[in-house]
Structure 1
Amino acid sequence: MQRATSSTEKDRLNAVSVKESGAWLNALPVAALRTPLDDDSFRVAIGLRLGLDICTPHEYICGSGVDEKETHGLSCRKSSGRHSRHHQVNDIIKRALISADVSAILEPLGTSPDDEKRPDGMSLIPSSCGKAIVWDFTCADTLAASHLAATSQSPGAAAIKSEKLKRLKY
């Protein structure tokens, strides 16, 4: 950490120092849940974790310059990958619930008629507590420029900030 040359490097090191940061490496690649990583996704994930160069410098679709570490595309508002990753995770959550015999739907309408807020998914049958299971998935990019000041100082700062924003939303 003392040899880190930038706040991005400190942020990356803070993120990988958290015990849970490597949990994804223990996830079983279950084809039915579509969780196996293809070779390129695995290469990029490991490269990001280790701080390796993963691409050639170029200009991104939004006009920002991208360096060899290529972290900008993970959080750029113009990145098509952000939306597809979000959809894929919600689909995995839904399929996991269905595999546990809990019927669920994505983006249910009418859950909050006063303000038209819509969670990412909801169970169709109430749980033992008499309420539906509802989820709204968020995955904060710890390397996003908007989080760097906090995440280079404290591991998990981006996730904590995102959690607070979700609680305010709902």
Structure 2
Amino acid sequence: MKKFYPLILALLAALVTAPAFANSATGTVTANVPSTCEITSVDNVHAELSQHSSQIQAGGNIQVICNKDAGYSITTSTVDANGRFEIAAISGTSGATMEVELREAVTGNSWSNTDIVGGTGTGYTQFIGFQLVYNPSGGPIPAYGFYTGPLTFDLTSTF
């Protein structure tokens, strides 16, 4: 039995030092990422004025998703040069309107029809805040009713 050990060891050594076959190849890996920059949603903002508050402020968000490192800007044509627009009564006092002021959430300044708010895409959803001031001039409580109106934001992307 002792004579077989050197033979087995020699065979194992030969297997370990035997040249192995090696082969390699290179392939090409590709990916296509379309240019994307879009507003995915705008919060609906609701406020409750009462006999004790003739003016009220509420906030909302614009949700934007853009490619990583893509620049974008948001504008609105709904408002005038002072950032104001009107919403109409759809119930209650027929023909009544209420003034609303759009403001940037970061600065609190009016967001006019010539202002641009923007940023750079991260590849994830980003939230751009805004504020609405209902009956911004204060004074009397608006006429009785439920008021509504559109607020449109336009997105421009730069890739």
Shared fold (TM-score, shorter chain, > 0.5): no
Instruction: Give the number of the structure whose alpha-carbon radius of gyration is greater.
Output: 2
TM value normalised by structure 2: 0.24
Could you say which structure has the greater relative contact order, defined with CA pairs below 8 angstroms and 6 or more residues apart?
2
Structure with a larger share of its residues in helix: 1
